[in-house]
Amino acid sequence: MLENLYNKYNLQNVINASGKMTILGVSKVPNSSVEAQKFGDQHFFVMKDLIKNTSQHIAELLGAPAALVVNSASAGIAQAVAGVIGRGSQYHAYHSFSKKITKREIIIPKGHNVDYGTPEEVMITLGGGQVIEAGYANMCSPEHIEMQITENTAAILYVKSHHAVQKSMLSIKEALKVAHDNSLPLILDAAAEEDLLKYVKLGVDIVIFSGAKAISGPAAGLIFGNKEYINWINLQSQGIGRAMKIGKENILGFTNALEEYLKSGSENGQHMLQRLKPFVGELNKVPFITAQVIQDSAGRDIYRADVTINNNSPYTAQEVITQLKKGDVAVYTREYRSNEGIIEFDIRAVTKEDMDIIVTKLNQIFSKKEGN
């Protein structure tokens, strides 16, 4: 049985209470998408036609001028940067780092140059861009962006993510206005966001989504927006994009997952709250912890269990996190606030049975005596 692959490769079974995270394989792919992937695996296609026609189909679904499927959101950032630098030049596709091409500056708010698994600046640089930070770690206004624009600016890049600084930051709409007032494109890294359609309505030039996060598809990235810019990015398949190409099976699997997502959406916040209520009640019965429900820090319609490790606890939050990962079933949590003594449990991929296991493991951890 396939379940034995855990044993074959000596892998732990994982309860993913961390969220849609790359380190855990991101999402569970719907059965219909697995079937679409299987069809892709077992048939041949003229790849340029498959890419062109599925991309056109996706653009129609979104009401966007154009779309393109790539192999990840990270690849999307690098290829988008290369695209706006190359501006449709075949010379650039073949000689992407040529010194003849000088318009390479990509302006990004300083508080958006975050590490999401790799720093944003790595992907910008991989695409041939020169990172220009605007503003400060705790603020960035439209004026801060404006003052960094030069004759060598190729684009403005904005990151919509819980990783990014939230307070005192200009909005997407404000960044878009600065870009358009200066005849520049706005690249939006919205990898883990939930609502694709609002960015179409805003008229963002280049929008990048992860195919495997909110959409719950196989490994893929989606780029959509202005047709000319998307065509420039598509040309990068003959340049740096060759090293980032996506397979036929994932194109078909992702396209199916997107169709299902647009029909049904992801679990909404109200349903999460209903599932969280009994879970938080059980967590509050565990010694040394206090649990409550909190909303996602970036304002998404996502709710989580927020667990504070009390001051009289025999273990720190980081020690609890480490112990949760031990055993036949490893529990992975959101660790961003462990230095504050807080552990977050994201339940989007967690079942009632998983919640029971989490509560049991926590009780076992805190029932141990120090030194045993």
Number of domains present in the structure of the chain: 2
Position 281 confidence tier, pLDDT thresholds 50, 70, 90: very high
Same domain, 234 and 271: no
Same domain, 310 and 216: no
Same domain, 209 and 189: yes
Same domain, 208 and 296: no
**Beta-carbon neighbour count of residue 351 at 10 Å?**
11
Same domain, 179 and 299: no
DSSP helix/strand/coil, 273 = helix
- Does residue 8 belong to any structural domain of this protein? no
- pLDDT, tens digit, for every residue of 105-161? 999 999 999 999 899 999 999 999 999 999 999 999 999 999 999 999 999 999 998
pLDDT tops 90 at residue 18: no
CATH number at residue 292: 3.90.1150.180
Same domain, 298 and 197: no
Same domain, 272 and 195: no
- Does residue 12 belong to any structural domain of this protein? no
- Distance from C-alpha of 367 to C-alpha of 364, rounded to nearest angstrom: 5
Position 348 confidence tier, pLDDT thresholds 50, 70, 90: confident
- Does residue 228 belong to any structural domain of this protein? yes
Same domain, 293 and 354: yes
Kind of pairing, strands 289-295 and 303-309? Answer: antiparallel
- pLDDT, tens digit, for every residue of 36-57? 999 999 999 999 999 999 999 9
Position 2 confidence tier, pLDDT thresholds 50, 70, 90: low
Question: What is the pTM assigned to this prediction?
Answer: 0.85
- Does residue 21 belong to any structural domain of this protein? no
Q: Once rounded to an integer, what is the mean pLDDT over residues 303-326? A: 93
Residue with tokens 């036929």: 248
Position 371 confidence tier, pLDDT thresholds 50, 70, 90: very low
- Distance from C-alpha of 72 to C-alpha of 243, rounded to nearest angstrom: 12
Looking at 230, 264, 298, which one is the last position of a domain?
A: 264
For the chain, give the mean pLDDT.
92
Higher pLDDT, 199 or 20: 199
Would you state the pLDDT for residue 372? 45
How far is CA 120 from each of CA 104, 108, 126, 321, 359, rounded to the nearest angstrom? Answer: 15, 9, 10, 27, 36
Same domain, 121 and 172: yes
Same domain, 72 and 208: yes
- Does residue 5 belong to any structural domain of this protein? no
Cα dihedral sign, 37-17-261-116: negative
Would you state the pLDDT for residue 297? 78
Q: Once rounded to an integer, what is the mean pLDDT over residues 263-267? A: 77
pLDDT tops 90 at residue 364: yes
Looking at 248, 264, 280, which one is the last position of a domain?
A: 264
Same domain, 41 and 91: yes
- pLDDT, tens digit, for every residue of 210-245? 998 889 899 999 999 999 999 999 999 999 999 999
- Does residue 10 belong to any structural domain of this protein? no
Which range is least confidently modeled, 32-36, 283-287, 300-304, 344-348? 300-304
Q: Once rounded to an integer, what is the mean pLDDT over residues 152-175? A: 94
- Does residue 334 belong to any structural domain of this protein? yes
Position 370 confidence tier, pLDDT thresholds 50, 70, 90: very low
- Does residue 372 belong to any structural domain of this protein? no
Are 59 and 67 a contacting pair, CB within 8 Å?
yes
Same domain, 247 and 363: no
CATH number at residue 71: 3.40.640.10
Q: Once rounded to an integer, what is the mean pLDDT over residues 260-274? A: 85
Q: Which domain holds residue 279?
A: 267-367
Share of the chain above pLDDT 70, in %: 98
Looking at 226, 246, 264, which one is the last position of a domain?
A: 264
